Amino acid sequence: MSPLSPQRRVYVETYGCQMNVADSEVVAGILSAEGYAFTSEISEADVVFVNTCAVRENAEERIYGRLGLFSTYKRENPHLVVGILGCMAERLRTNLLERDLIDLVVGPDEYRKLPELVEGAMNGAKGVAVRLSRVENYDDITPYRAEGVCAWISVMRGCDKFCTFCVVPFTRGRERSRTLGSVVAEVRALADQGFKEITLLGQNVNSYRSGQFEFADLMLTVAAVDPSIRVRFTTSHPQDMSDRLIASIAETQNICKHIHLPVQSGSDRILRLMNRTYAVDGYRKLVDRIRKSIPGVSLTTDIISGFPTETEAEHLMTIDLLREIRFDGAFTFKYSPREKTKAWEMGDDIPDEEKGRRVWDITRLQHEISGERNRLLIGSTLPVLVEGPSRKSAQDFTGRTDDNRNVVFPHADEQQGDLVDVRIERSNSATLFGVIDRATVRRSAEPYQEDAA
């Protein structure tokens, strides 16, 4: 864009996981370096991007639903550029380009081309860039972030696991990791900007490798940058949850004591069909090692219900596993067939209504377990990082504990980013409610362990 050109404004909507949130910040970093500005109002935009998810069918349906709204704005402003970014762009590029509304279709490894493609679209040329890369990790791009408390950092891209239900290897490509030095530099910059919590992201983040460094090295190095900053990570694969990584979490005060560990099913046969590379007994032993090494750790999981050929007995195996392990939370999804995956070839023989019933069984049980586990914390005092006002009351703040529980409490003069001690008075399955017992203001780089001890 010419320095004399009027500044163009970009509106971005992001769907899907935190990886997509981080990707949108990369997109914003690339475009801001070229002089673009950003707006939160679609009516003010010259360029509209939707960063999409293709992991499940309902995520794609939501995007198609939004395109109707974008059509309205394009009728009012024929020069508006509309682009589809991310996994859905990679998977459905031909279908998307056939729509008159859409000017650009850009996959997750081609964001560097966006300035050129937008300029072309401004002159009437449709653009497509969806080639996957074995090397692109945006290591040298500074993501554009608004001020805040929590930041997400992509430390690797793609996945090599090829779970039979998962489209990620086909939409995001094979695994490649950023250098340890580049991640550490980004964490230092975030610390200087006042962020108080960072989450390291990857499709399978604990398979991170950079030269001689593995994920435990990255976690320890990042945690040492600023001991007042909490460090989290997601999402992990049971196969790569090493004893060294478990020990690093246990022994490092500012690495949060929460692990998201997707199990997907309680049936060994279904796990083999999913190509999950572990058995239920191995997963059970891993959970035992984690809980013995990290007392008080919070464990959450993912479950897919209604995978091809899953029987009622196998569904009940998953229910039994939930009762046994007693996760603190679980994300449960109906199986959604995805083209190109191995599971696509297995058919989709479980009726949607039956999938829904099984999801409800799992969700109802997990709701009870989460409520019971949260009630155990009533009467305790927990350090909570203040994230901002509660959505339901301007008189309340919300924040999270070290082990990733949401807490709501009345506030006085606390500020976003403070670490406060909250005495828990009541709870439900999703939230703890309490009052500040002793506020410890953390507006400078004081050691995290002084308050966490």
Q: Which structure tokens are listed for 116?
A: 């050129």
By CB atoms closer than 10 A (0-12, 13-18, 19+), residue 203 is buried
Q: Do domains 147-256 and 264-278+289-376 have the same CATH topology?
A: yes
Q: pLDDT at position 394, please? A: 82
- The pTM of the full predicted model, rounded to 2 decimals, is 0.90
**Strand order of the sheet with strand 127-129?**
37-38, 9-14, 47-52, 81-86, 104-106, 127-129
In Å, what is the CA distance from 180 to each residue of 155, 189, 240, 377, 420?
A: 8, 14, 18, 37, 32
In order along its 453 residues, the chain shows pLDDT tens digits of: 444 346 899 999 998 888 899 999 999 999 999 999 999 999 999 999 999 887 776 767 888 888 888 888 999 999 999 999 988 887 776 677 667 788 999 999 999 999 999 999 999 899 999 999 999 999 999 999 987 899 999 999 999 999 999 999 998 999 999 999 999 999 999 999 999 999 999 999 999 999 999 999 999 999 999 999 999 999 999 999 999 999 999 999 999 999 999 999 999 999 999 999 999 999 999 999 999 999 999 999 999 999 999 999 999 999 999 999 999 999 999 999 998 899 999 999 999 999 999 999 999 999 999 999 999 999 999 999 999 999 888 889 999 999 999 999 998 788 999 999 999 999 999 999 999 985 444 443 344 443 333
Cβ atoms 129, 107 nearer than 8 A = yes
Instruction: Please check whether the domain covering 381-452 is classified as CATH 2.40.50.140.
Output: yes
Cβ atoms 110, 49 nearer than 8 A = no
Q: Which structure tokens are listed for 247?
A: 């020990």
Q: pLDDT at position 54, please? A: 74
Calculate the CA 312 to chain-centre distance.
31
Domain ranges of the chain: 9-129, 147-256, 264-278+289-376, 381-452
SS3 69: helix
Assigned fold of 264-278+289-376: Transcription Regulator spoIIAA (3.30.750)
Q: Which CATH architecture has domain 147-256?
A: 2-Layer Sandwich (3.30)
Cβ atoms 284, 324 nearer than 8 A = yes
- Number of Cβ within 10 Å of residue 215's Cβ equals 27
Q: Which CATH number fits domain 9-129: 3.40.50.12160, 1.10.600.10, 3.40.50.2300, 3.40.50.1820?
A: 3.40.50.12160
